[in-house]
Amino acid sequence: MGGEAGERRLGRAMSFGIPDVALGLVMGFVDDPWDRDAISLVCRHWCRVDALSRKHVTVAMAYSTTPDRLLTRFPCLESLKLKAKPRAAMFNLIPENWGGSASPWIRQLSASFHFLKALHLRRMIVSDDDLDVLVRAKAHMLTSLKLDRCSGFSTSSLALVARTCKKLETLFLEDSLIAEKENDEWLRELATSNNVLEILNFFLTDLRASPAYLTLLVRNCRRLKILKISECFMLDLVDLFRTAEILQDFAGGSFDDQGQAVESRNYENFYFPPSLLLLSLLYMGTKEMQVLFPYGAALKKLDLQFTFLSTEDHCQLVQRCPNLEILEVRDVIGDRGLEVVAQTCKKLQRLRVERGDDDQGGLEDEHGMVTQVGLMAVAQGCPHLEYWAVHVTDITNAALEAIGTYSRNLNDFRLVLLDREANITESPLDNGVRALLRGCTKLRRFAFYVRPGVLSDVGLGYIGEFSKKIRYMLLGNVGESDQGLLQLSTGCPSLQKLELRGCFFSERALALAALQLKSLRYLWVQGYKASPNGTDLMAMVRPFWNIEIIAPNQDELCQDGQAQILAYYSLAGMRSDYPQSVIPLYPSV
Amino acid sequence: MAGSEQRQVVKAATAAGNGSRFAVTCGLLRQYMKERGAGSSGGGGRFLPAVTMSLMATAGADAGAVGVAAAVEEEEAPEEIKTMELFPQQAGIKDSRERNETEKAQLSQLTIFYGGSVVVFADSPAEKADELMKFAGSRDTAPVSDDDAGAAAAARHLSPGQPCLPDMPIARKVSLQRFLEKRKNRLAASEQPPSPVASSSSPEPEKKEESSKRAKKDDGASWLKVNPTLSL
């Protein structure tokens, strides 16, 4: 739109004014929140039209703003996603009482957001009282409730939600800590009160669920497409699968047949509905795996993270699944398994290779290891990969270069180098990282967690130089000195969220980097060189920049002995709900 | 007409996939609006300078980088526009980063870094801070005693200059760890004979076996020996 002609045209358009109705209609076509942001910055008028027509907002850090502000700006919001605890909470690095209560939000949402019908809370503490308030105000409206990795509530609330929210289409509780009060009564309530449910997810929870209620639910909710449950013996679910004619996505169950009579361990007549395309199965062993063979060609997703399969089993199974788009495994799959993936799964878009049981005292017998060999095979064989998270035991520059050459569609790449082996083939990996970043131009998220010496200051400089679009970055054990971090921080123009762990950077360098990274709005650091008296951190003090120190955890359950720094932009001011272990640095400026 | 033009832009941006071109265009528009000044858009009223937003999220970078959460924050009630003018001045604070132990206002929070501890006082008067400053200037080492709850916690972790980092085991995702523990128990329970693991509650024997197995492979891996309670 540059040039004089363009400017004239623009001027005409703006001076005549676009009617609000038209503007609103046009904005209706813009879903991308980043584009919405750009629109809202054009002028105040556009900002207002956008604010009134925006249906969904994600607040990436609940303490960065207040419910009041949200209401003032977006009074007509229909859907809200809120996140609170740092990501590190998923790794047990954040004290349980850190904060992140949903109460102030739920109170405001219930009282004033008259159009709200979908709520997604992630890593927050939600009490039964909160849910009671929400349900009282929103039961007639609520179509989607996601309590995603939350804690603090019980099945009584679930029963209340099930009983009263008759329009609920999505109930998502994955990986939440839920106190069980009335067994699975909530499930019976849901099965008998709701007939519009499309998604029910309580995968990775400890909730018990009786097959009879589950089957009843499937019978009554004819639109149920996604069912993700906790552990439940698979052979008890045969009726359910025969009833669920349109089920597309199933997770949970259990092939573990302990406590089952021998005669009930027969999978010969096992049945999945033909509509089923996405599967995550628990405790599946070699024997039971064969149940899947007839369905292999139809499957688009397989999650084998929580199974007993060996490297060979993975090879056998994956060979039969040429249409996979999503594959999630542990590193037991090994290079051999990944080579099969590369040969077979030409449509693969998402690949996660998690870390297996390599602890001391672990029982991981299969010795599956993923190295440069597997990475290179996948990079060459699966050109459509967009998301790739992998734990490796060895890695070379050539493998990273191969990813840069072939995996052009990656927008999210995460690599963790495990400490199983004392030595790796090649170090440093500076050039490999440069090649990867140069080649994968669509990368928005990047994690590189290695060990000291593997990425030098030069490598950090490359990251700064070649990560124009990257918004989120996690770096572990990288760099040699402050110089590396400072070099990195002269680049990375889009970096908004940075997580650093186990790096030897001084407080002063961290503070300078935080000032220098021009898009940065969230910084989490664990393991750094504390200055003798802590003052160096004050170099990053500035308006609206909250800095909190999380003291090393004394709690045995939470397993860490290193202080953490959390710093983020906030218009809400210093939070008042921090526990003793959190020390806010909030000098008046 | 303008609408269809706009729609084309929208379509183009959608086609481009990541919308960044659209964002850039909007950035140009914003620039244009700013230059044209207030009053030219019918009933639009004053334009939002949006300075706060830029500083907050992108420090003047292209608007395309402005995030979702930032979108929530960006909104400014009219009276808050005033704060925008404060920004450039406050930005100067970056330069005065050599500031000393005290940060003060008339009656506000006082944070002291001293002897490896952080002490935070709520509602501390400015004169008090001045006194403290003088006091700190006059003496070299005088232990700060305070029973503020935060201080004790702070002292625990900001111990004077930890010279080098202890090894930090790679953290494991809790959900996966829970599974692996269950898996271990079940395997142990189901196949007692083959493995020397008698019961999951006594991990000693398997640990020994495992570590001897491991020792063959990597004797120099010091990080393996650290903190076995940590799941890495």
Domain definitions of chain B by residue range: 2-93, 107-157, 174-224
Q: What per-residue string of b and e applies to A380-415 under the rule 16 or more CB within 10 Å gives b? A: ebbeebbbbbbbbbbbbbbbbbbbbbbbebbbbbbb
pLDDT of residue A72: 95
pLDDT in tens, A126-136: 999 999 999 99
- Token digits for A378? 């996948």
pLDDT at A197: 97
Provide, rounded to the nearest whole percent, the portion of chain A with pLDDT above 90: 80
Averaged pLDDT, A69-75: 95
How many Cα atoms within 13 Å fall on the side-chain side of residue A455? 31
Q: Residue A95 and residue A564: Cα distance in Å, rounded? A: 11
pLDDT of residue A140 exceeding 90: yes
Q: Would the pLDDT of A77 be above 60? A: yes
Measure the N-to-C terminal CA separation of chain B; round to a whole number of Å.
61
Q: Which 186-225 residues of chain A touch chain B by CB within 8 A?
A: 204
pLDDT the model gives residue A170: 98
Q: Taking CB atoms and an 8 Å limit, are B19 and A35 in contact across chains? A: yes
pLDDT, position A114: 96
CB atoms < 10 A from the CB of A96, how many? 16
How many alpha carbons lie under 13 Å from residue B182 in its C-beta half-sphere?
17
Residue A508's contacts (CB-CB under 8 Å, 6 or more residues apart) are A482, A531, A536, A539
Query: Could you tell me which of B63, B57, B30, B61 has the C-alpha nearest to residue B44?
Result: B30
Chain B's closest residue to A21, CA to CA, is B3
Interchain contact, B217 vs A422, CB within 8 Å: yes
Whether residue A439 is predicted with pLDDT greater than 60 in this model: the reply is: yes
Q: Which helix (H) or strand (E) holds B151?
A: helix B149-157
**pLDDT for A3:** 54
Residue A293 confidence class, pLDDT cut points 50, 70, 90: very high
CA dihedral angle for residue A131, residue A134, residue A140, residue A143, rounded to 10 degrees? -70
Q: Which helix (H) or strand (E) holds A565?
A: strand A564-569
pLDDT at B191: 64
Residue type, A74: F
* More confident call, A183 vs A520: A520
- As a whole number, mean pLDDT of residues A325-343 equals 96
For A:318-357, CB contacts with B below 8 A are 330, 354-357
Query: From the centroid of its chain, how far is CA A279?
Result: 19
CA distances from A111 to A81, A100, A283 (A): 17, 20, 45
* Residue A42 DSSP SS3: coil
Question: In sequence order, what E strands does A343-431 have?
Answer: 350-354, 387-392, 412-417
Q: How confident is the model at residue A553, as a pLDDT?
A: 62
Cα–Cα dist A12/A17, whole Å: 8
Cα dist. B74→A40, A469, B67 in Å?
Answer: 9, 21, 10
* pLDDT number for residue B66: 30
CA distance A477 to A450: 6
Q: Give which of B30, B36, B73 to mutate to test A binding, by max A Cβ within 10 Å.
A: B73
CB-based contact, A389 to chain B, within 8 Å: no
**ipTM, interface predicted TM-score of the complex:** 0.85
Lowest mean pLDDT among A9-23, A191-205, B188-202: B188-202
The two structure tokens encoding residue A225: 């497409």
Q: Provide block-wise average pLDDT over 10 residues at a time, chain B (232 residues).
A: 43 46 86 70 38 32 33 35 31 35 49 53 64 56 38 38 60 90 80 42 37 36 33 30
Q: Select the residue from A357, A512, A568 to test the B interface by mutation, using most B Cβ atoms within 10 A.
A: A357
Q: Range with the lowest mean pLDDT among A339-353, A460-474, B142-156?
A: B142-156
A141 to chain B, minimum CA–CA distance in Å? 23
Q: Based on DSSP, count helices (H) and strands (E) in chain B, helices before strands.
A: 9, 2
From the list A235, A374, A359, A357, the residue with the least C-alpha distance to A318 is A374
Question: Per the CB < 8 Å rule, is B184 touching A59?
Answer: no
Q: CB-based contact (8 Å) between A519 and chain B?
A: yes
**Of residues A362, A554, A587, nearest to B103 (C-beta):** A587
Q: Is A542 on the interface with B (CB under 8 A)?
A: yes
Query: Do B46 and B38 touch, CB atoms closer than 8 A?
Result: yes
Which two structure tokens, joined as six digits, stand for A372?
């440069």
- Asked if A305 and A355 count as a contact pair (C-beta separation under 8 A), the reply is no
Tokens representing A558 are: 């939470």
Mutate to test the interface with B, among A37, A71, A473 (most CBs of B within 10 A): A37
User: Which tops the pLDDT comparison, A176 or B124?
Assistant: A176
Shortest alpha-carbon distance between residue A515 and chain B (Å)? 8
Q: What is the pLDDT of residue B184?
A: 82
The minimal CB distance from A449 to the residues B113, B170, B227 is found for B170
Helix axes B2-16, A20-28, angle to 10 degrees: 20
Which residue spans within A8-95 are E strands per DSSP?
Answer: 56-59, 79-83
* Closest to A526 in 3D by CA, of A552, A508, A545, A546: A552
Contact call for residues A461 and A434 (beta carbons, < 8 A): no
| Cα four-point dihedral sign A129, A88, A585, B87 | negative
Cα separation, A588 vs A187, whole angstroms: 51
Mean pLDDT computed over A114-138:
97
Is A559 in contact with B230 (CB distance < 8 Å)? Answer: yes
> Under an 8 A CB cutoff, do A37 and B161 touch?
no
Q: Can you tell me the distance from the alpha carbon of A405 to that of A373, in angstroms, rounded to the nearest whole number? A: 15
A287-301, A491-505, A560-574, B108-122: which range is least confident on average?
B108-122
Q: Which tokens hold the place of A429?
A: 């990996």
Structure tokens at A129: 């009282």
Q: State pTM to two decimals.
A: 0.78
Q: What is the pLDDT, as a whole number, of residue B141?
A: 39
Where does residue A62 fall: left (phi above 0), alpha (psi -120 to 50 degrees), or beta otherwise? alpha
Backbone angles phi, psi at A496, to 5 degrees: -105, -30
Residue whose C-alpha is closest to residue A254's, from A206, A311, A312, A298: A206
Q: Which of A158-172, A575-589, B207-221 is the least confident region?
A: B207-221
pLDDT of residue B68: 34
Distance separating alpha carbons of residues A388 and A349, to the nearest angstrom: 8
* pLDDT of the residue at B119: 56
Q: Which two tokens stand for residue A295?
A: 């369905």
Question: Whole-angstrom Cα distance, residue A321 to residue A329?
Answer: 14
Q: What is the pLDDT of residue A137?
A: 97
DSSP string, B95-123: TTTT--S----TEEEEEEEETTEEEEEEE
Omega into A452 within 30° of 0, i.e. cis? no
In angstroms, the Cα distances linking A131 to A15, A135, A142 are 49, 6, 12
- A192 CA to chain B: closest CA distance, Å? 31
Q: Is A238 exposed, middle or buried (0-12, 13-18, 19+ CB in 10 A)?
A: middle
CB atoms within 10 A of CB A4: 7
Q: State whether residue A544 sits within 8 Å of chain B by CB.
A: yes
Task: List the domain boundaries for chain A.
Answer: 1-51
User: For residue A496, what pLDDT band results from cuts at 50, 70 and 90?
Assistant: very high
> Inter-axis angle of helices A185-193 and A155-164, to 10 degrees?
10
Q: Parallel, antiparallel, or unpaired for β A170-172 and A144-148?
A: parallel
The answer to whether A444 touches A470, Cβ cutoff 8 Å, is: yes
Q: Which residue has the tokens 């995603």?
A: A148
Residue B126 is predicted with a pLDDT of 67
Nearest to A26 among B3, B170, B207 (CB): B3
Amino acid at A454: V
Q: How far is A513 from chain B (nearest CA, A)?
A: 12
pLDDT tens digits, one per residue of A391-420: 999 999 999 999 999 999 999 999 999 988
Do the strands A564-569 and A545-550 form a parallel or antiparallel pair, or are they unpaired? antiparallel
Q: Which of A43, A361, A421 sits opposite B203 (nearest CB)?
A: A361
pLDDT (tens digit, 9 = 90+) per residue, A356-389?
887 655 445 556 799 999 999 999 999 999 999 9
Question: Looking up tokens 């709690």, which residue turns up?
Answer: A555
Per-residue confidence (pLDDT) for residue B112, from 0 to 100: 59
More confident residue, B223 or A14: A14
